[in-house]
Structure 1
Amino acid sequence: MEKTKLSYLQIHPKDNVLVALRDLPVGFTIEFAGEHFELIDAVAAKHKFTISKLAKDEEVYMYGVLVGKVNHDVERGALIHVENLRHASDDFRLGKRNLNWLKPDVSQYKDRTFLGYHRKNGQVGTANYWLVIPLVFCESRNVATLKNALEEKLGYQVESKDYADEVDVMISKFKQGASVDELLNVDLSAAKDNKSRNRLFENVDGVKFLNHEMGCGGTRLDSDSLCGLLAGYITHPNVAGATVLSLGCQHAQASILRDEIQKRDPHFEKPLYIFEQQFEGTEQGLMQKAIKATFAGLSLANQDTRKEASLDKLCIGLECGGSDGFSGISANPALGYVSDILVSLGGSVILSEFPELCGVEQELSDRCQDEATADRFMSLMKTYNAKAEADGSGFYMNPSPGNIRDGLITDAIKSAGAAKKGGTSPVVAVKDYPELANGPGLNLLCTPGNDVESTTAEVGSGANIVLFTTGLGTPTGNPIAPVIKVSSNTKIYEKMNDIIDINCGTIIDGEETIEEAAHRILDYVITVASGQQLAKAVVLGQDDFIPWRRGVSL
């Protein structure tokens, strides 16, 4: 059956605005609910317009939930924008459990496997990395020195372009006396790519260096949380072992790190080498010991090989960044369907970014498997928003200028679409940063909406793959877990296909259903988890790592 591309869409029967799926001019005729009316404003794709006249302070609904109130009377067929709509969302309270959900057909996946790295604690990694970690920012220089010493020699330099050849061309033109205009118009298309080196350790995907600016000088809560996060990375199934550099006197003590490791893996057996500079003495002595230990650890890690694993060993982090007005109707619900498939198979998913769940708290709390879980979710949401309000920046201030420009004009609109990544299955656990959140089923993890902080947290909490939706294009990744980018619209995919892996604009274009896109995404996830395909963030070396300071970050 041939699919038809629509011009506009009502997302939920309760909604009193429609979404433009393409640019609609003034006077365009809308046919809705048996009636015809004309647009009184031009409405760009991704933006919304009214289907009836709205009086001042009347409520606006999208995705079936309250997303705002109008600031003044708004005529039928008018564009909704920041001048006539303000953020509003419903209150939430402990309600009845709503655990009924329609499980998807997973027959085609029940016997599927991926090739992963089996760890002694039963977890399975989608990659095999060695970590080098500073416990405090004072050791960042030593970590950078280790990176310079090890990365190229071991064959782990990023294989994408480093643009040094382009700079050589420009230097040559400058020395030849080229003018400013000539320099601006130099043809760099012939510049060569970096050449990859052969890896010494074939079964180790890389040595990753988790630099940060924390560990001392901040609150004890932040340093303790840092130790928990780093413990999450060290015990992660994608990690074979770690070298840790400590100064010795900082808040983030090695003993705290060890305690956090034991919390996450009581029978921890991976090679772990911790060196304290104030104990070791000279920098040379410290560095030589770190190099020897890292090399020995890599030789152990190189003994690991990929073996078959069932799909319930996947733990997928669900993330969005650079969202647009199509995210909630294409890429995010496609991830939601992937989530439901994986949960049905016994796998794990993590939904985070609590500032972007504002307005859907009631639905999510009702989906929590028991009242204690629901209470924890509501408590974390209220505490986080109260802290943001106290600092003059509540959840309502979450949408970025790019979000607003592309149709997400209130936090509730953004949140209602973002929550679609979590599918429809019950919430089995609610975790606070940086706790583990990798139990079978849908896990909620309290993190900021900040893309990199949230992705960093999801991986630290157990995600061995991250699915990251974007409508505007976001160049980010993670040091140890593949981050697969999924676009909400075809235009941005075609424009930025060097950083985006999968296009879900096919849903908007009428070429594919949400279910069909979800199957395509999961098939791709399996190839990436097996090491048969590299996510573009991995190819580009987008190793973004930002721990969350427990202040306000939206």
Structure 2
Amino acid sequence: MRQWILKIHPEDNVLVALTDLKAGEEVVYEGQTYTPAEFIPAKHKFTIDAMPVGSHIIMYGVLVGVAQQDIIKGGLITTANIKHASNDFMSERHAYTWSKPDTTKFEGRTFMGYHRTDGSVGTGNYWLVIPMVFCENRNVDVLQEALIKPLGYGRKKTYELKAQTLIERIKAGGSVEEVLYTETESDTENAIGAKVFPNVDGIKFLTHAGGCGGIRQDAIALCGLLAGYITHPNVAGATVLSLGCQNAEVRILEEEIAKRSPNFSKPLYILDQQKTGTEQELLDKALRQTLAGLMQANEIVRQPAPLSKLVIGLECGGSDGFSGISANPAIGYTSDLLVSLGGSVILAEFPELCGVEQNMIDRCVDKERAERFSHLMRTYNARAEEAGSGFYMNPSPGNIKDGLITDAIKSAGAAKKGGTSPVVDVLDYPEKVTKPGLNLLCTPGNDVESTTAEVASGANVVLFTTGLGTPTGNPIAPVVKIATNTTLYKKMNDIIDINTGTIIEGEETIEQAGERILDYVIKVASGEVQVSAVRHGQDDFIPWKRGVSL
């Protein structure tokens, strides 16, 4: 049965409006009647009692703000009458127990994946072309133009066809009004032709703006990130273009590869332009070696693998006031299911864990992990503060408009993505996941930077929740888009894969949605379902320079 309001935690002193509420409209929750004193838009919150200046605002059972003005009983909380506040935290852990979910439905289930010699299993099979430095981006672009369509990976884009039609209309003397308003042929996307290598999902070209000119730590981090992609289970091999004089040296890349995969055996071709000579010679070698590598990659086929071989990245972007009560806790339950089955999950976006640090610390399996998490959080926030923009500046205008008034409110809901299982490891960017269970990875809240990092750490599928809508994807890992509300799901169904607005509407529980999501993940991992981001070629890739990024 659908409810109109929600009290998320017994200790909360504000309620969430699940639909627009009129001033004076009586609403009932768990036998108690509440009356908003003013119009409360859906996704926003109103006070249970009057709150004088200085009163603590509690949501999800934690401190999320402080009243800056007197707020009447039933009053809407806004950026004008409250400000961000969060509880301090200690490295010491409190007692924590975890009740595993029932995994009977998934026991013995498998997915069809690509088995690698290091024991990992991919959900895709890609070849990479990577520059060590931005100076090589043009050569990467030349290779992309030369290879994509002939190999059968290109598509006749909808808007190329539309533009062609409109240009012909202009040439024929059409008016501005005809160009603006006259219908064109139906939008379609057509494959260029059959793939030359049917067992290779694609060849991906990862250009970037780094590799030189920054601090040496940036170069080392970039090499670690690129090594994460080269050694990734979704990658069969790579072609790497180096200029030869950049800070991101090939030597560093090889060291980072060895850290992640000591017995690395994938085909890897590294070309140095300053050693090779002319551009023509470089590109000729790169073409030949890439095609030879694709021939080897094509020999790999999907085979059954246990669900313990799944590594799921947990991400959110374009969040709204429903994120923390529908999509995020739903994938949190998915996370707990996978952890119980021996798999791994990655919770990142450290600026969006502000206010729930103590909960994460309590869940750490030992003192070492707890202290590392505490150190990373304090150091990151201090650097942000030095730049004049602490974690409290994280919520975007879209977040605020849709009910996420403070960073602590946003964070308390964002943390729900990580479920309730123990934290087995805490990783700094761009370290690799090595332990089954819940892993915390230090990244910004920036959607693409964080998703890029999670995949580098080993995520072979990413679950991405959104309340406002975002097309974010990744070159080598499927990014499953999950809507927090049905309105978004219907409005932007070309980029959204799953709807959890059903939770808000009372049609299913968080647990039921979490199981449904895991079922979907298994199909995606097996290549049975192509997610929207893959279908649209949404290959977002942004390395994080360890400066301040929220």
* Same fold at TM > 0.5: yes
Report the Cα offset of residue 179 of structure 1. 2.4
Report the Cα offset of residue 292 of structure 1. 0.7
Give 2:470's aligned residue. Answer: 474
Give 2:490's aligned residue. Answer: 494
The letter of the residue matching 1:74 is I
Give 2:25's aligned residue. Answer: 28
Of the three residues 45, 52, 55, the one matched with 1:55 is: 52
d(CA) in 2 for partners of 1:148, 1:349: 36
1:358 and 2:354 matched: yes
Report the Cα offset of residue 96 of structure 1. 3.0
Give 2:329's aligned residue. Answer: 333
Give 2:266's aligned residue. Answer: 270
- The answer to whether the Cα contact below 8 Å between 2:4 and 2:27 also exists between their aligned partners in 1 is no
d(CA) in 2 for partners of 1:202, 1:415: 43
Give 2:279's aligned residue. Answer: 283
Give 1:520's aligned residue. Answer: 516
Give 1:44's aligned residue. Answer: 41
1:488-507 CA-to-partner distances (Å, cap 9, x unmatched) read 00000000010010000000
Report the Cα offset of residue 34 of structure 1. 5.8
The 5 Å alignment of 1:90-489 reads 90-158=87-155, 161-489=157-485
1:277-329 CA-to-partner distances (Å, cap 9, x unmatched) read 00000000000100111011000000000000000000000000000000000
The letter of the residue matching 2:393 is M
Report the Cα offset of residue 162 of structure 1. 3.7
1:68 and 2:68 matched: no
d(CA) in 1 for partners of 2:202, 2:360: 38
1:58-102 CA-to-partner distances (Å, cap 9, x unmatched) read 000100000000101100011111100100000000233434111
The letter of the residue matching 1:85 is I
Give 2:549's aligned residue. Answer: 553
d(CA) in 1 for partners of 2:188, 2:312: 36
Taking structure 1 as reference, are residues 545 and 168 closer, same or farther at Cα in structure 2, changes over 3 Å only?
same
Corresponding residue SS for 2:128: strand
Of the three residues 82, 86, 107, the one matched with 1:85 is: 82
d(CA) in 1 for partners of 2:218, 2:228: 15
Report the Cα offset of residue 27 of structure 1. 1.4
Taking structure 1 as reference, are residues 165 and 158 closer, same or farther at Cα in structure 2, changes over 3 Å only?
closer
d(CA) in 1 for partners of 2:271, 2:161: 38
1:170-220 CA-to-partner distances (Å, cap 9, x unmatched) read 112212323222221121353543334210001000100010000000111
1:85-139 CA-to-partner distances (Å, cap 9, x unmatched) read 1000000002334341110000111100000000000000000000000000000
d(CA) in 2 for partners of 1:441, 1:215: 33
The letter of the residue matching 1:457 is A
The letter of the residue matching 2:227 is A
- The answer to whether the Cα contact below 8 Å between 1:128 and 1:205 also exists between their aligned partners in 2 is yes
The letter of the residue matching 2:385 is E
The letter of the residue matching 2:272 is E
1:138-158 CA-to-partner distances (Å, cap 9, x unmatched) read 000000000000010001114
Q: TM-score, normalised by structure 1?
A: 0.98
Corresponding residue SS for 1:86: strand
Corresponding residue SS for 1:429: strand
Report the Cα offset of residue 431 of structure 1. 0.3
d(CA) in 2 for partners of 1:530, 1:36: 49
Q: TM-score, normalised by structure 2?
A: 0.99
- List structure 1 segments (4+ residues) > 4 angstroms apart after TM superposition: 32-35
In structure 2, stretches of 5+ residues that fail to align are none
- The answer to whether the Cα contact below 8 Å between 2:312 and 2:345 also exists between their aligned partners in 1 is yes
- The answer to whether the Cα contact below 8 Å between 2:44 and 2:402 also exists between their aligned partners in 1 is yes
d(CA) in 2 for partners of 1:214, 1:355: 23
The letter of the residue matching 2:106 is Y
The letter of the residue matching 2:14 is V
d(CA) in 1 for partners of 2:129, 2:362: 42
Taking structure 1 as reference, are residues 34 and 107 closer, same or farther at Cα in structure 2, changes over 3 Å only?
closer
d(CA) in 1 for partners of 2:295, 2:502: 45
Of the three residues 533, 542, 548, the one matched with 1:537 is: 533
d(CA) in 2 for partners of 1:113, 1:31: 45
Corresponding residue SS for 1:163: helix
Greater shift, 229-238 or 196-205, is seen at: 196-205
d(CA) in 1 for partners of 2:29, 2:489: 31
- The answer to whether the Cα contact below 8 Å between 1:316 and 1:466 also exists between their aligned partners in 2 is yes
The letter of the residue matching 1:73 is D
Of the three residues 12, 33, 37, the one matched with 1:15 is: 12
d(CA) in 2 for partners of 1:74, 1:413: 18
The letter of the residue matching 1:112 is R
Corresponding residue SS for 2:40: coil
d(CA) in 2 for partners of 1:252, 1:12: 49
d(CA) in 2 for partners of 1:82, 1:356: 18
- The answer to whether the Cα contact below 8 Å between 1:158 and 1:540 also exists between their aligned partners in 2 is no
- The answer to whether the Cα contact below 8 Å between 2:5 and 2:29 also exists between their aligned partners in 1 is no
- The answer to whether the Cα contact below 8 Å between 1:99 and 1:369 also exists between their aligned partners in 2 is no
The letter of the residue matching 2:457 is S
Taking structure 1 as reference, are residues 191 and 364 closer, same or farther at Cα in structure 2, changes over 3 Å only?
closer
The letter of the residue matching 2:104 is S
